[in-house]
Structures are given as C-alpha cells and as structure tokens.
C-alpha cells in the first residue's frame, strides 16, 4: 500500500516588532475601532531591516525539524509557498535549502497567494504517497509589509509578516493529509494583485511612480468571493475524505478577516469554538497564516493526535483550496538531532562551495568552457 504523509513537525517564526492599530492611526486616516470591527485585527508583526522571507522561513523550518527529530540531510524536498520571495529567482526555497544544510533536497517556490500552503501540502503529500520521496518540508513565508503601500488605508491595515513550516514524512498508518482540493479562477486576478516587477511591467521609474509595486485590492469583492468558496471547499474536501462535518474536530482557516471566517462557519453550521482565530495578533500573514495558527493550536492543546482537522484558504489568483488531515504528531523513538551543528555545517559548506567555485573559475577560466 502506498505510504501516507504524516505531519511530524511544525514550527513558526514571527518578527518581534509589533505594529498596533493605534500606531496605524498615526500613519493613515483610520481608527482602532474601524479596523477591529471590520476585520478583527488588533496588531500585526513587521520584519526588521535584517529579516527577510528566507530568514523567517529558515527559522520556522529549524523549529519544525527539531519537533520531527530529523536532520536537514534527511529532507528530500523543500517547498516554499510565498508571494513575497526574496528574488524573482533564485527560489527562496533554494536559499532555505542552503541555510538549513539540506544537502539532498530539491527546492522550489510555489505561488498561489494565501492558498499556497494548502497547495504545497497537497503536492508534497502526493510526492510521498507515490513513493517518489519520503521526507518533505512545506513552508509558508511572507514579508508582505515590504509590498504594502503604507499610505493606502484600504490595504495597509490588513497584512503582517511571518512564517510557518510543516515536516511531512512517509508513514504506514492512515494519517496526515487524507484529501485536498485546489481551485483557481484567474478571471478575478485583478481583485488582489501586485502588478509591477514582473515581465508584464518590469521595474522602471514610471512603475515606481505609479505605485505598481504595491498590493492592490478590491476588498468587497474579495470578501464576497471568500465567504462563498470557504464553505464550498470545506464541504467538498470533507466528502472527499469520506467523512462528515461531525467527524471534524477543528477548522484552521486562512486568517484574513474574522467576519469572513464567521460567515463561512455559519454556512457550514460549525461552532466558532472549534475554529482557530489568531488574526487579532498577526493580521493576514497570507500563506503563513495556516501553519502559524496550527502551531498555536498545538501549543494550546487544541489539536491532538487522532483529531481530524480542516485547513481552508483563499487568496489572490483567485485561488482557494482545502485539505483534511488526521493529526498524528512526531514519530515515536529517541533520535539525536543536532540543529546547531547542522546550522554551522550549512554555513561552512555554503562558504566552501562558493570558494571552490571561484578557484574552479580561476584555474579553468582561461579554458573555453564550451569546448
Ligand atoms: C477591506 C475590508 C475590511 C473593507 O471593509 P468594508 O466593510 O467592505 O468596507 P468598504 O470597502 O465598503 O469601505 C467602507 C468605507 O470605509 C473606508 N475605509 C477603508 N479602509 C479604511 C480604514 N482602514 N479605516 C477607516 N476607513 C476605511 C472606505 O474608504 C469606505 O469609505 P466610503 O464609504 O467613504 O467610501 C473588507 O472588504 C475585507 O476584509 N475584504 C477582504 C479583504 C481580504 O481579506 N483580503 C485578503 C485576501 S487573502
């Protein structure tokens, strides 16, 4: 029988700097009362100058690896879901691979906006289920504060920075992701997008002056779309897992807006007490919101082995999706892992590789490499 993809490790990383609604009142024409009543958000985390999407992703991954008790050298695949990569290329996932010292891993980025983590979980699960790989790490990481127009009150109150990671490992018992749905409707691409900096509008003085490098959003339409698809996708994915809503102990939705979550749960006739909401403290961290909320749910004892949990999200693209998992936790057994050793090893290895490449170029550089 094909193996299941157990979720055996989890970790999160959020910047220390907190930006409250009261501080936003000093920046744009808004009020704490407006933001809380329309969104549920009270504060969000913002990266410092020396933090990046890869640094948050690496920190979250190290924590997840410690819980799973595996060394980076055992990872076969790294997927970083992000809409705020460090560069257009190379992939942020490759930067994480280098920093972790995951010497055997393939690495790529995935862009499905706020739904990306669900897409990534499903892709990694399928790779494990076919037997192609045994161990993957899926990361949702964002530094959207770098792309927000801090003079636009429609968007700047919503987003925050952070990262979350899951380790997936092949296991015999029926656990991990049981079903998933992934959907997209590109006709709504302009409802939530960042036009500049890609091949359509490469960066020029004009694109900068026109503000094309900032997030644009039609909030009301996104709201309508989100409430429609969240309930729909949840029902579909639960059916697909051959379960009923009564079998679901917990829903962990994308943390965009408390009102969206409330409307979706009402449509599902599912109690709010069995849903994780932490957007009051982090805002919308896009693709990082589901793994961050999961880490907090586990720490608070709200997600336990044997529970069925639904992850459900939506976002730019438009994209949406859901997944059902049977929670199990780390594999039993005592294994010594050395994250500090590996970090040091990864740094040394990276430096040595760069130096060797230079020596190589110096010695062989005079020869024509194409002959
Ligand atoms: C953005 C959102 C909170 C706006 O709430 P809303 O109730 O729909 O508010 P509206 O857009 O109708 O705006 C109502 C008024 O508030 C104003 N407003 C917008 N942002 C404001 C802010 N931060 N502070 C105060 N007033 C604000 C608008 O300008 C508008 O004023 P007007 O009536 O004079 O034109 C809501 O539409 C939403 O959450 N949408 C989904 C967004 C989302 O989740 N995006 C990420 C998806 S992954």
How high is the pLDDT of residue 200? 96
Tell me, in angstroms, the distance from the centre of ligand 1 to residue 39's CA: 9
Residues touching ligand 1 (Cβ under 6 Å) are 30, 34-35, 38-39, 114, 153-154, 157-158, 192, 217, 219-220, 222-223, 256-257, 284, 315
How high is the pLDDT of residue 271? 97
For 148, how many CA atoms within 13 A lie in the half-sphere containing its CB? 23
| Residues that are catalytic | 114, 254, 284
Closest atom of ligand 1 to CA, residue 222: 41
Q: What is the C-alpha separation between 80 and 140, in angstroms, rounded?
A: 6
Please confirm whether the linkage preceding 358 is cis (ω < 30° from 0): no
E strand residue ranges, 129-212: 135-142, 162-171, 176-184, 192-193
Asked if 319 and 289 count as a contact pair (C-beta separation under 8 A), the reply is no
Question: Which residue, judged by its Cα, is nearest atom 31 of ligand 1?
Answer: 154
Give, for ligand 1, the residue of 32, 219, 315 to mutate: max count of ligand atoms closer than 8 Å to Cβ: 219
Neighbours of 69 (CB within 10 A): 17
pTM of the shown model: 0.95
- Report helix angle 258-268 to 32-39, nearest 10: 20
Q: Which top CATH class is 4-326?
A: alpha beta
Closest atom of ligand 1 to CA, residue 30: 24
Please name every residue paired with 237 in a beta bridge, in sequence order, or none if there are none: none
How high is the pLDDT of residue 368? 66
Weakly modelled stretches of the chain, pLDDT under 50: none
Neighbours of 239 (CB within 10 A): 14
Which one, of 2, 73, 45, 68, lies nearest residue 143 by Cα? 45
Asked if 241 and 2 count as a contact pair (C-beta separation under 8 A), the reply is no
Tell me, in angstroms, the distance from the centre of ligand 1 to residue 154's CA: 6
Closest atom of ligand 1 to CA, residue 220: 37
Q: What is the C-alpha separation between 234 and 18, in angstroms, rounded?
A: 32
Token pair 């779309």 in the structure block, residue:
225
DSSP H helical ranges for the chain: 21-25, 32-39, 53-68, 92-100, 116-129, 153-156, 205-209, 219-240, 258-268, 279-282, 289-299, 339-364
Question: Which residue, judged by its Cα, is nearest atom 9 of ligand 1?
Answer: 220
Tell me, in angstroms, the distance from the centre of ligand 1 to residue 187's CA: 22
**Tokens read off for 322:** 């859901």
Tell me, in angstroms, the distance from the centre of ligand 1 to residue 40's CA: 12
How high is the pLDDT of residue 244? 97
Tell me, in angstroms, the distance from the centre of ligand 1 to residue 38's CA: 7
Q: What is the C-alpha separation between 184 and 119, in angstroms, rounded?
A: 11
Q: Domain boundaries in the chain? A: 4-326
How high is the pLDDT of residue 281? 98
Contacts of 354 (CB under 8 A, 6+ apart): none
Coil, helix or strand for 75?
coil
The two beta strands, 43-45 and 106-110, are unpaired
Q: What is the C-alpha separation between 78 and 141, in angstroms, rounded?
A: 13
Tell me, in angstroms, the distance from the centre of ligand 1 to residue 146's CA: 21
Closest atom of ligand 1 to CA, residue 154: 20
Neighbours of 236 (CB within 10 A): 17
Q: Which phi-psi region, left, alpha or beta, contains residue 174 (left: φ > 0; alpha: ψ -120 to 50)? A: beta
Give, for ligand 1, the residue of 220, 224, 253 to mutate: max count of ligand atoms closer than 8 Å to Cβ: 220
**Tokens read off for 279:** 């957007």
**Tokens read off for 163:** 């990262």
Q: What is the C-alpha separation between 189 and 216, in angstroms, rounded?
A: 11
């Amino acid at each position: 029988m094909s193996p299941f993809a157990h979720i055996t490790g989890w970790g999160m990383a959020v910047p220390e700097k907190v930006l409250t609604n009261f501080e936003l009142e000093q920046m744009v024409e808004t009020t704490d009362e407006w933001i809380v009543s329309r969104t549920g958000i009270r504060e969000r985390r913002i990266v410092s100058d020396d933090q990046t999407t890869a640094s948050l992703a690496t920190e979250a991954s190290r924590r997840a690896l410690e819980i799973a008790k595996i060394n980076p050298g055992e990872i076969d695949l790294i997927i970083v879901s992000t809409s705020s990569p460090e560069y257009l290329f190379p992939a942020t996932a490759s930067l994480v691979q280098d920093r972790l010292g995951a010497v055997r891993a393939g690495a790529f980025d995935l862009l499905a906006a706020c739904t990306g983590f669900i897409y990534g979980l499903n892709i990694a699960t399928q790779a494990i289920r076919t037997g192609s790989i045994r161990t993957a790490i899926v990361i949702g990481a964002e530094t959207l504060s770098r792309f927000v127009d801090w003079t636009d009150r429609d968007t700047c109150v919503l987003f925050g920075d952070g990262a979350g990671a899951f380790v997936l490992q092949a296991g015999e018992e029926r656990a991990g992701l049981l079903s998933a749905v992934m959907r997209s409707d590109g006709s709504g691409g302009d409802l939530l997008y960042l036009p500049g900096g890609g091949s359509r509008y490469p960066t020029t003085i004009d694109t900068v002056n026109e503000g094309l490098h900032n997030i644009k959003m039609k909030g009301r339409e996104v709201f309508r779309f989100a409430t429609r698809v969240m309930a729909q996708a949840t029902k579909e994915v639960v059916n697909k897992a051959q379960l009923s809503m009564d079998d679901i102990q917990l829903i962990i939705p994308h943390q965009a807006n408390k009102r969206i979550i409330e409307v979706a749960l009402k449509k599902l006739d599912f109690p709010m007490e069995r849903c994780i909401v932490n957007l009051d403290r982090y805002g919308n961290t896009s693709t990082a919101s589901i793994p961050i909320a999961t880490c907090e749910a586990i720490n608070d004892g709200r997600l336990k082995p044997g529970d069925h949990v639904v992850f459900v999200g939506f976002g730019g693209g438009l994209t949406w999706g859901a997944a059902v998992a049977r929670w199990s936790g780390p594999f039993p057994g005592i294994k010594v892992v050395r994250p500090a050793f590996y970090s040091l090893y990864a740094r040394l290895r990276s430096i040595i590789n760069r130096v060797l490449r230079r020596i190589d170029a110096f010695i062989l550089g005079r020869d024509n490499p194409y002959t």
